[in-house]
């Protein structure tokens, strides 16, 4: 059986895993953006938060991904469902690029532009939402883009704790020493990563147009 025939024979299973994979990554990214962007913003507002926020997200990323899954296993609510655990682990793992780019994007806004905003009588919140965030948006999106590509890859490891996704094929292939199984997981995962990278790249370019 060649690879094409293998893909045809396992098509519905591959698609199901791919959707599991996408679902995991998307929820994790929403979670990561939902916490990472506010954390990045807080770090720009309160200097004392800068070091701990950036330090902790940096530290999380240095943990090997398999170990991070393992560390979370004893956490009560998370361990009830393996996909839940996987999503939280992925989100934690994606925090650093999002927090760092949010921080850098806002801090990178020309101080003179910020001062003009203040001079026109904007409140802190108006300055943030009307000036700083729009100008930082393409940098923030670049962080989300990096985080997404990494998460697509790391999500294959989630199969190790039974969370499903394309990793299942990879792990089965490794166990059976069968390259076709490995490729049935690896190729769709690569396609997903490239597609995410390309789409978010387009979005980023659109945002950059006027800056």
Partner 1 sequence: MNNPDGSIAIQFSNVTYRTADGRPLLAHLNLQVLTGETLVLLGRSGSGKTTTLKLINNLLACQEGQVIVEGKSTNDWDPIRLRRHIGYAIQEVGLFPHMNVEKNVALVPQLEGWAAEKIHGRVEELLALVGLPPAEFRRRYPHQLSGGQRQRVGLARALAADPPILLMDEPFGALDPVTRADIQREFKALQQRMHKTVVFVTHDVREAMFLGNRIAVLEKGALQGVYSPTEFLQSKDPVVAEYANVLRSEMEFMQEVRKASR
- From candidates 30, 38, 108, 118, binder to partner 1 by CB under 8 A: 118
Q: C-beta of 47: minimal distance to partner 1 in Å?
A: 15
| Residue list 124-183, contact with partner 1 (CB under 8 A) | 126, 130-131, 134-135
Stretch of residues binding partner 1 (CB under 8 A), selected from 3-11, 15-23, 121-129, 151-159: 121-129
Q: How far is the C-alpha of 30 from the C-alpha of 25, rounded, in Å?
A: 9
Does the protein bind partner 1 through residue 58 (CB under 8 A)? no
Query: What are the structure tokens assigned to 133, written together?
Result: 């965030």
Burial 155-179 (b: 16+ CB within 10 A, else e): bbbbbbbebbbbbbbbbebeeeeee
**Min separation Cβ 45 and partner 1, Å:** 18
Label residues 73-110 b or e (16+ Cβ within 10 Å = b).
eeeeebeeebbbbbbbbbbbbbbbbbbbbbbbbbeebe
Q: Closer to partner 1 at the Cβ: 65 or 138?
A: 138
Enter the tokens of residue 16: 């199901």
Closest to 152 measured CA to CA, from 125, 127, 170, 137: 170
How large is the C-alpha radius of gyration of the chain?
20
d(CA 15, CA 211): 40
In angstroms, give the least distance from the CB of 209 to partner 1: 8
* Residue 47 found at the interface with partner 1 (CB under 8 A): no
Q: Which of 119, 125, 175, 177 binds partner 1 (CB under 8 A)?
A: 119
Considering only 17-25, 57-65, 75-83, 112-120, which stretch makes contact with partner 1 by CB under 8 A? 112-120
Instruction: Name the segment binding partner 1 (CB under 8 A); options: 59-67, 74-82, 106-114, 190-198.
Output: 106-114
d(CA 196, CA 187): 14
Angle, CA 58 vertex, CA 57 and CA 64 arms, to 5°: 100
Out of 26, 27, 122, 182, the only residue in the binding site for partner 1 (CB under 8 A) is: 122
Q: How far is the CB of 135 from partner 1 (least distance, A)?
A: 6
Q: Which one, 142 or 163, has the nearer CB to partner 1?
A: 142
SS3 162: coil
CB of 123 to partner 1, least distance (A): 6
Contact residues toward partner 1 (CB under 8 A) are 110, 112-113, 115-123, 126, 130-131, 134-135, 210-211
């Amino acid at each position: 059986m060649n690879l094409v025939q293998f893909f045809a024979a396992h098509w519905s299973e591959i698609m199901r895993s791919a959707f599991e994979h996408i679902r995991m990554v998307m929820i994790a990214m929403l979670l990561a953006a939902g916490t990472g962007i506010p954390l990045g913003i807080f770090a720009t507002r309160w200097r004392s938060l800068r070091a701990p926020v950036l330090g902790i997200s940096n530290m999380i990323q240095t943990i090997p991904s398999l170990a991070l899954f393992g560390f979370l296993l004893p956490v009560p609510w998370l361990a009830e469902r393996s996909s839940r655990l996987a999503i939280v682990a992925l989100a934690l793992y994606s925090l650093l690029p999002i927090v760092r780019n949010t921080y850098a994007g806002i801090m990178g806004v020309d101080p003179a532009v910020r001062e003009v905003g203040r001079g026109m009588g904007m409140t802190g919140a108006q300055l943030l939402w009307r000036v700083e965030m729009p100008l930082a948006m393409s940098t923030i999106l670049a962080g989300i883009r990096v985080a997404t590509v990494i998460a697509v890859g790391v999500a294959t490891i989630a199969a190790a704790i039974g969370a499903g996704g394309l990793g299942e094929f990879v792990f089965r292939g490794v166990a059976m020493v069968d390259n076709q199984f490995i490729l049935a997981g690896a190729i769709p995962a690569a396609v997903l990563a490239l597609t995410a990278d390309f789409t978010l790249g387009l979005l980023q370019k659109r945002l950059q147009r006027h800056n």
